[in-house]
Amino acid sequence: MRLSKYFIPTLKEIPSDALIPSHQLMLRAGMIRSLGAGVYSFLPLGYRIIKKVMDVIRDEMDAIGGQEFHLPALNPLELWEETGRAKDFGDTMFHLKNRPLVLAPTHEEVICQIAKNHIKSYRALPQIWYQIQMKFRNEPRPRSGVIRGRQFFMKDSYTLDATWEGLDKGYELHAEAYKKIFTRAGLKYFIVGASSGAMGGSASQEFMIESESGEDTCAVCDHCGYAANLEVATSNIPKAQREKESKEIQEIHTPNVGTIDELKEFLKVDERFLAKSLVYMQDKTPVLILMMGNDQLNETKLRAVLGADVRPCRQDELLMLTGADAGSIGPIGLQGFKIIVDKRLKGGNNLISGANKNDYHLGDIDLQRDVKVDGYYDLRIINAHEPCSKCNSPLRIVNAIELGHIFKLGTKYADAMHAYYLDEDGKEKPIIMGSYGIGVERMMACFIEQNHDKHGIIWNKALTPFHVHLVMVNSNNEKVVSVAENLYTKLQQSLIDVLFDDRDDVSPGFKFKDADLLGIPLQIIVGEKNVIHGNVEMKDRRTSKREIVELGKVVSFVEKYLES
């Protein structure tokens, strides 16, 4: 491709709306342009890279037996009502105004519908179906360039199985394929256990890259490799120590003490003797939740215990139900409450908690003696430096970007849509599904986040838009022009993708800057000072190492480089 004819509008200055490196560089390198919040046009160079990413994904999906589909983005609203997900997605799904159609944010329903109509026997299972297609989500706040957009490419795949062992196998195949995809794409990633959320199902893992601009938070152990989304992460933080003697409950006057920190200061006691109370509503049942000290409640963990519909109790409800305001609530003397306790408090005695009377607390509560506990669960958000639950090394808390997510769905969709097959005994059974996604633009953006310097992007061989960047330095020098033109032809004849900077109206410095910005990993620099000796210069974009190569050996040099 001749740069003089190719549409690559590079920018010298950084557009002010772009804050993170990948977004800035994608704009500056002429790969994308914004059309509206969270909506991007891919220009020719950017789309070339998208296609490279898709190639890698497609290759590995085909390798595990995936069959590529192309499913419609327009879906009947009715289909989404069948599974109840029209309501679950709510405003996140785009609805058309002039027909009862929606723009699909994912494709479980469509897949399940096809399976329902055509998979009638266990003999037709298992199946791995996938597609790489545009997804639409009405994100309330798109951000970080293409990392969170309102429309984006996703590779989504689905396993259909007759047995739970089959699901496990399909899930494992995907986990392995994903590792290969991200490794080939040159991404430094880690895998975390994740919440399966409203997708339902039993197991779920996310493929993440660590990034300051990430929207997810993960706990990571650098020692043993444990990593988990904070939604589900656990640690070995010390539990309550039961004291030898349980003292008698006593009322303590605590005027103007609201928060745990104030209580700690007022009573001069260790945080681990304090039991913080929170009240949530599970349908019409109030639930009192006890946490140790100032431990924060993890709502994802809470929902896993109580169901998705729990909500924090309102202030007016709180006063009516307990007779006190937040800050003076406690587990003693409540009527009609369910009481659940964070595991960390298990066995605790001589604890201090609210008295359900404003400005009073109760001291020396023994959970075993005084409280009817409906269950102990892990409910807390872990903090940095807490000991790893596997190896006790201090955990790090990092921001991360989710590149891929794999789910064991089970029969949720088959049940809702009556997608049944006949098993060996002629019995009707629901098809067991798994669902697996990769964000295509995110792979591209994350690669740039991890591979750039102050001059621009540094592609690797798998994702680079062209194999080599041929820079003709002195376009007024006949010898240089003829050598560069000749090389361009020869390289193309050897099936090497060349971006040829043949512009004659641009100074050498400009060409070098553009080459570094675009980041093609190997630059061939044809300039006067080397050409007169029958040589050209090879520059490695990543290391900036330069090597002088004889003209006749350029093609074989490049071929060797590409194979290495």
Q: Shortest distance, CB of residue 241 to RNA, whole angstroms?
A: 32
Tokens matching residue 80: 């989404």
According to CB under 7 A, which residues from 65 to 94 bind RNA? Answer: 88-89, 92
Of the ranges 181-189, 266-274, 325-333, 470-478, which one interacts with RNA (CB under 7 A)? 470-478
Query: Cα(461)–Cα(504) distance, rounded to whole angstroms?
Result: 28
How many C-beta neighbours within 10 Å does residue 299 have? 15
Nearest alpha carbon to residue 438 among 23, 52, 136, 157: 157
Q: By C-beta, is 354 or 527 nearer to RNA?
A: 527
Q: By C-beta, is 213 or 350 nearer to RNA?
A: 213
How many C-beta neighbours within 10 Å does residue 555 have? 15
Q: Shortest distance, CB of residue 499 to RNA, whole angstroms?
A: 14
Residues 6+ apart with CB under 8 A from 223: 388, 391, 393
Strand partners, 420: 430
Q: By C-beta, is 228 or 365 nearer to RNA?
A: 228
- Separation in Å, CA 472 to CA 500, 506, 536: 8, 10, 10
Of the ranges 115-123, 367-375, 422-430, 503-511, which one interacts with RNA (CB under 7 A)? 503-511
Contact 538, 476 (CB under 8 A): no
Q: By C-beta, is 11 or 224 nearer to RNA?
A: 11
Q: By C-beta, is 96 or 332 nearer to RNA?
A: 96
- Binder of RNA out of 6, 14, 51, 360 (CB under 7 A): 14
Per CB under 7 A, does 22 bind RNA?
A: no
- Binder of RNA out of 4, 11, 223, 347 (CB under 7 A): 11
Query: Cα(127)–Cα(112) distance, rounded to whole angstroms?
Result: 12
Per CB under 7 A, does 313 bind RNA?
A: no
CA angle 182, 196, 211 (to 5 degrees): 40
According to CB under 7 A, which residues from 116 to 145 bind RNA? Answer: 139-144
Helices (H) and strands (E) in the chain, counts: 16, 31
Nearest alpha carbon to residue 495 among 564, 560, 559, 563: 559
Q: Shortest distance, CB of residue 190 to RNA, whole angstroms?
A: 19
Contact 389, 226 (CB under 8 A): yes
3-state secondary structure 148-178: ECCEEEEEEEEEEECCHHHHHHHHHHHHHHH
According to CB under 7 A, which residues from 200 to 219 bind RNA? Answer: 215-216
According to CB under 7 A, which residues from 535 to 564 bind RNA? Answer: 537, 539, 546
Q: By C-beta, is 206 or 364 nearer to RNA?
A: 206
The amino acid at 554: V
Per CB under 7 A, does 155 bind RNA?
A: no
Q: By C-beta, is 308 or 320 nearer to RNA?
A: 308
Nearest alpha carbon to residue 179 among 462, 460, 446, 438: 438
Per CB under 7 A, does 393 bind RNA?
A: no
Query: Cα(365)–Cα(70) distance, rounded to whole angstroms?
Result: 62
Per CB under 7 A, does 512 bind RNA?
A: yes
Question: Pattern of binders to RNA over 257-276, x per CB under 7 A?
Answer: --------------------
Per CB under 7 A, does 34 bind RNA?
A: yes
Of the ranges 161-169, 174-182, 383-391, 519-527, which one interacts with RNA (CB under 7 A)? 519-527
Q: Shortest distance, CB of residue 204 to RNA, whole angstroms?
A: 8
Q: Residues of 113-125 as b/e, b for ≥16 C-beta within 10 angstroms?
A: bbbbeebeebeeb
Q: By C-beta, is 510 or 557 nearer to RNA?
A: 510
Query: Cα(446)–Cα(187) distance, rounded to whole angstroms?
Result: 8
Per CB under 7 A, does 48 bind RNA?
A: no
Per CB under 7 A, does 199 bind RNA?
A: yes
Q: By C-beta, is 133 or 358 nearer to RNA?
A: 133
- Binder of RNA out of 252, 508, 549, 562 (CB under 7 A): 508
- Binder of RNA out of 2, 19, 118, 418 (CB under 7 A): 19
Tell me which long-range contacts 424-428 makes (C-beta under 8 A, separation of at least 24). 424/122
Report the interface residues with RNA, using CB under 7 A.
Answer: 10-17, 19, 28, 34, 36-38, 88-89, 92, 105-106, 139-144, 148, 154, 156, 197-199, 215-216, 299, 405, 407, 435, 437, 455, 473-477, 504, 507-510, 512-517, 525-530, 537, 539, 546
